[in-house]
Amino acid sequence: MGGTGGSGSGGVIGGGASAADSGAGASGAVGADGSVAASNGPCDLTGTWAAQRINFANVNNPLVPGAQKNSQWYFFDVIQKGDDFTVKRGVWCGDTTTGDATINFSSSTTDGIREHMQLSGRRGSYRVSGDACALDLERAYSVTALLDDDTYLPGVVLPPGRIAGNPELSTLPPLPTKLDDPGAQDWDGDGKAGVQYLITDSPIGSGVRHAVQRAWNAAAGQTPQSADDFLVTATYDFEEVALAAEPALFSSVAVVRKGAPNRMRWKRVAQDFEQKDDSDTCKAVRVLLPHTPLPRDAP
């Protein structure tokens, strides 16, 4: 059973955001001291943000028909000039999946991915559009537990993962399929290539999968002006190969669920929200923007 991933990676499928997942309007960003941050204009992202990307998928196995919902979290420090913005500093803050099974990373796996996931330099635009704002976050490519040069992402600019022409993943070189393939890396230091997915609460029990992954993600949509908490539509794709799994059924990986309400939430936070240690900042992001679990029997 595969996580929806896209790291580097929702209720009833096809429905809107649940109350816990949604957010919009100029709610203000609360800092550790109770201060509230303000934007620099009606369509200006300059400042610090907690973000959550919510993706949906299905397992690519007819024997495992369930749905999956995945959350990935980020911390962004953004600077905007005119209509164009750049992520001055970005931190990948982890990943969790619920639905047909619960899939998580250990702390060592999360730390290993964060070390490799370079988000700084990602660009986009945020501009006035009538009485709203239009956000367009560029497509960014990433690999997980793979050589992070251009072996599996030809022509990539690292960071932040830009490839001219936005090629589809299916047109890129094939991923490794064996643990001893030199292209597969052990990012979490557990002695096996691939990152370790910890699988629980499935119909067949618990287990682990060691996998490599390649993905891209982007986001776009309209928000209210001066919004400090908003949702936009997210788009993504990913390819995953399980190099080993115990039990063997856990080698089944996930695929993007077509037509699902993938989305990305941004919530402005005050400068003092960021901690000295990235792991502490990420804990705060995940508390601020919690994952709403998808029931195992969701269609």
The pLDDT of residue 77 is above 60:
yes
The residue type of 17 is: A
DSSP 157: B
> What confidence category does residue 62 fall into, taking pLDDT thresholds of 50, 70 and 90?
low
Instruction: For residue range 216-270, list pLDDT tens digits in order.
Output: 999 999 999 999 999 999 999 999 999 999 999 889 888 899 889 999 999 999 9
Report the alpha-carbon distance of residue 6 to residue 56 in Å, rounded.
11
**How far is residue 233's CA from residue 123's CA, in Å, rounded to a whole number?**
17
Residue 10 contacts by C-beta under 8 Å, 6 or more apart in sequence? Answer: 17, 18, 21, 54, 56, 69, 260, 261, 292, 294
CB atoms within 10 A of CB 281: 19
The residue with greater pLDDT, 20 or 214, is 214
Backbone φ and ψ of 112, nearest 5°: -65, -40
d(Cα 179, Cα 184) in Å, to the nearest integer? 7
Selection from 48, 44, 57 nearest residue 85 by Cα = 44
Model pLDDT, residue 12 = 20
Average pLDDT over residues 188-196: 96
pLDDT digits (tens, 9 = 90+) for 80-132: 999 999 999 999 999 999 998 899 999 999 999 999 988 999 999 999 999 99
DSSP state of 225: T
Q: How far apart are CA 212 and CA 164, in angstroms?
A: 23
Higher pLDDT, 63 or 250: 250
Question: Which of the four pLDDT bands, split at 50, 70 and 90, describes residue 159?
Answer: confident
Residues 121-141 have pLDDT tens digits of: 999 999 999 999 999 999 999
- Is residue 239 within 8 A of residue 39, CB to CB? The reply is no
Q: Residue 233: which of 253, 260, 255, 258 has the closest Cα? A: 260
pLDDT at 15 over 90: no
Query: What does the pLDDT average to over 201-230?
Result: 95
pTM of the model: 0.86
**13 pLDDT exceeds 60?**
no
Query: Residue 64's pLDDT is what?
Result: 65
